[in-house]
C-alpha cells in the first residue's frame, strides 16, 4: 500500500518574518510552491494595499492541507491562527454550507427557499445592534421589527442578514437556538457544526449572517471541507447567482457593501465592481468565491476550486475608508494574484 507523505511546515526566513511552506508542496501548475509562497509574502510585505492594513495572518492551501502561510500589515503582532476571532460576514458562507447539508439544492429550489440564500427574499430589515441584544435566533429575527417583509423588494438583491435569519427561523427550525455566550440549550453552534463538522465555531450573537467566532485555523479546515467535497456546497459554489451591483442600469440590486458604504449612499462610494451573489457567498468579477467580514476577515476559494485562501485580521474601525472588509479584499486579491503568477504583485 502506498504511504501518504508526512507533511510539515518548513520556515523560510524573510526580512518581514518567517514564511511557512508545506514540505509536501512540490510544484503546482509549473510553479513551485516555494516560489508562489515567496511571491505572496513579498507582496504582503511590500504592496501598499497590504502594508496599510492592521497586522494580519495569511494562508493558502488546497483540499489536502496548508500549502503556505505568513503575515503582514503594520502596527503590532499578526493574528494567531489558533485563536478565535469574530469573522462577521464570513459567517454567511458557513451558513450556506449548513443549508446545503440540511437540504439538497433541488429541494431548496423546489421549496422556493433560494431567495433567502441569494439575498433576494424581501427580508432586509435586520439591525445588528438590535440582534446583538437578543439571546436566540428567533428573538434576533423579530427584534425591533427585523422580520419586516418588503414585498416590493422581493427578487432584488439587498445585502442584509435578515435573509439568513428568516431562513433559520422560518425554514430550518433554528429559532429556539441560543448564542454561545449563554449556557442554555439548544446551542446554535452545536446545530450548525452537527451539519458542517466541528471547526471550533461559536456565536457571540444569534445572528447567522455575522455572529460567528472561529480561529483562522478552524475556518481553513472548513474551507478544505468545501474544496474536498465533504460539504455539499463545494459542488454548488457560484450557482443561482444574482447581480449584486448598484447604481447601474444593468442591475436592480438595492444595496451592496462592495459598492456602497451604506444603503443610503447616493453613489458607489466604495467601488464600482460588478460582483454577483450566490448561495450565501459572493462571486467576484474574476470568478473567485468569497465571504469577507466587516472586521477584515477575508476567506476565498478560487474559480477553479483548487485553492482556498484567507486573510485574517480584526480591525474594529469600521468607519475607515476604505472599510476594513474592502481593504482586506484589495490586499487579498493582490496576494492571490501573486500566488497564481509566482511573481510579487507591485
**Predicted confidence band of residue 20 (pLDDT cuts 50, 70, 90):** confident
What's the whole-number mean pLDDT along residues 258-269?
Answer: 97
Angle, CA of 238, 122 and 320, to the nearest 5°: 70
pLDDT reported for residue 220? 98
pLDDT(2) > 70:
no
Nearest alpha-carbon partner for 163 in 187, 180, 184, 146? 146
- For the chain, the structural domain boundaries read 1-79+292-346, 91-241
Q: Are 24 and 9 in contact (CB under 8 A)?
A: no
pTM of the model: 0.93
- Read off the C-alpha cell for 323: 472599510
Q: pLDDT tier at 22 (50, 70, 90 boundaries)?
A: low
* Main-chain phi, psi angles of 235, to 5 degrees: -90, 0
Q: Cis ω on the peptide bond leading into residue 322 (within 30° of 0)?
A: yes
For residues 10 and 21, give the distance between their C-alpha atoms in angstroms, rounded to a whole number: 5
Euclidean distance between CA atoms 71 and 105, whole angstroms: 37
Which of 32-41, 73-82, 256-265, 301-310 bottoms out in mean pLDDT, i.e. has the lowest?
73-82
In which band, very low, low, confident or very high, does the pLDDT at 18 lie, cut at 50, 70 and 90?
low
Task: Give the pLDDT mean for 246-262.
Answer: 98
Q: C-alpha grid cell for residue 248?
A: 447601474
Look over the chain and give the mean of its residue pLDDT values, rounded to a whole number.
Answer: 93
Query: Is 229 in contact with 235 (CB distance < 8 Å)?
Result: yes
| Chain centroid offset of residue 57 CA | 15
Is residue 292 within 8 A of residue 329, CB to CB? The reply is yes
Dist. CA 37–CA 46, nearest whole Å: 14
Paired with 71 in beta bridges are: 57
- pLDDT tier for residue 12 given thresholds of 50, 70 and 90: very low
- Given this model, what pLDDT does residue 14 score? 44
Query: Which pLDDT tens digit goes with each residue over 87-128?
Result: 999 999 999 999 999 999 999 999 999 999 999 999 999 999
- Predicted confidence at residue 139, as pLDDT, reads 98
DSSP run (H or E) holding 216:
helix 216-228
For range 207-228, the mean pLDDT: 98
**Sequence-separated (6 or more) residues with CB below 8 Å from residue 234:** 225, 226, 227, 228, 305
Rounded distance between C-alpha atoms, residue 215 and residue 201, angstroms: 8
Q: What is the pLDDT of residue 27?
A: 56
Mean pLDDT to the nearest integer, 21-35: 72
Residue 69 and residue 179: Cα distance in Å, rounded?
31
pLDDT score for 75: 85
Query: For residue 46, what pLDDT is reported?
Result: 97
pLDDT at 9: 47
Quick check: 227 pLDDT over 70?
yes
- Give the three cell numbers for residue 237: 459554489
- Centroid of chain to Cα 26: 28
Write the pLDDT tens digit of every residue in 137-195. 999 999 989 899 999 999 999 999 999 999 999 999 999 999 999 999 999 999 999 99
Angle between helices 324-341 and 33-46 in degrees, nearest 10: 140
Express as a percent the part of the chain with pLDDT over 90: 89
Amino acid at each position: 500500500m502506498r504511504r501518504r507523505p508526512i507533511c510539515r511546515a518548513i520556515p523560510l526566513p524573510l526580512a518581514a518574518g518567517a514564511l511557512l511552506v508545506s514540505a509536501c508542496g512540490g510544484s503546482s501548475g509549473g510553479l513551485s510552491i516555494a516560489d508562489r509562497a515567496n511571491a505572496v509574502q513579498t507582496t504582503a510585505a511590500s504592496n501598499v494595499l497590504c502594508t496599510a492594513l492592521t497586522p494580519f495572518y495569511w494562508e493558502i492551501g488546497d483540499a489536502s492541507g496548508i500549502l503556505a502561510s505568513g503575515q503582514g500589515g503594520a502596527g503590532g503582532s499578526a493574528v494567531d491562527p489558533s485563536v478565535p476571532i469574530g469573522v462577521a460576514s464570513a459567517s454567511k458562507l458557513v451558513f450556506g454550507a449548513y443549508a446545503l447539508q440540511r437540504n439538497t439544492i433541488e429541494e431548496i429550489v423546489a421549496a422556493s427557499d433560494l431567495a433567502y440564500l441569494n439575498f433576494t427574499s424581501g427580508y432586509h430589515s435586520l439591525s445588528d445592534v438590535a440582534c446583538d441584544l437578543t439571546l436566540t435566533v428567533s428573538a434576533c429575527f423579530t427584534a425591533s421589527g427585523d422580520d419586516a417583509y418588503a414585498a416590493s423588494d422581493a427578487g432584488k438583491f439587498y445585502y442584509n442578514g435578515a435573509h439568513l435569519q428568516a431562513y433559520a427561523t422560518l425554514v430550518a427550525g433554528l429559532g429556539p437556538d441560543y448564542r454561545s455566550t449563554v449556557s442554555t440549550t439548544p446551542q446554535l453552534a452545536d446545530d450548525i457544526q452537527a451539519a458542517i463538522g466541528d471547526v471550533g465555531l461559536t456565536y457571540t450573537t444569534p445572528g447567522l449572517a455575522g455572529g460567528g467566532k472561529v480561529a483562522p485555523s478552524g475556518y481553513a479546515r472548513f474551507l478544505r471541507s468545501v474544496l474536498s467535497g465533504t460539504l455539499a456546497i463545494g459542488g454548488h459554489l457560484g450557482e443561482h447567482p444574482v447581480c449584486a451591483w448598484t447604481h447601474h442600469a444593468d442591475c436592480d440590486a438595492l444595496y451592496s457593501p462592495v459598492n456602497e458604504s451604506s444603503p443610503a449612499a447616493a453613489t458607489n462610494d466604495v467601488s464600482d465592481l460588478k460582483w454577483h451573489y450566490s448561495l450565501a457567498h459572493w462571486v467576484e468579477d474574476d470568478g473567485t468565491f468569497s465571504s469577507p467580514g466587516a472586521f477584515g476577515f477575508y476567506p476565498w476559494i478560487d474559480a477553479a476550486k483548487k485553492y482556498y485562501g484567507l486573510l485574517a485580521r480584526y480591525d474594529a474601525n469600521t468607519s475607515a475608508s476604505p472599510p476594513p472588509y474592502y481593504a482586506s479584499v484589495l490586499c487579498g486579491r493582490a496576494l492571490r494574484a501573486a500566488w497564481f503568477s509566482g511573481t510579487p504583485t507591485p
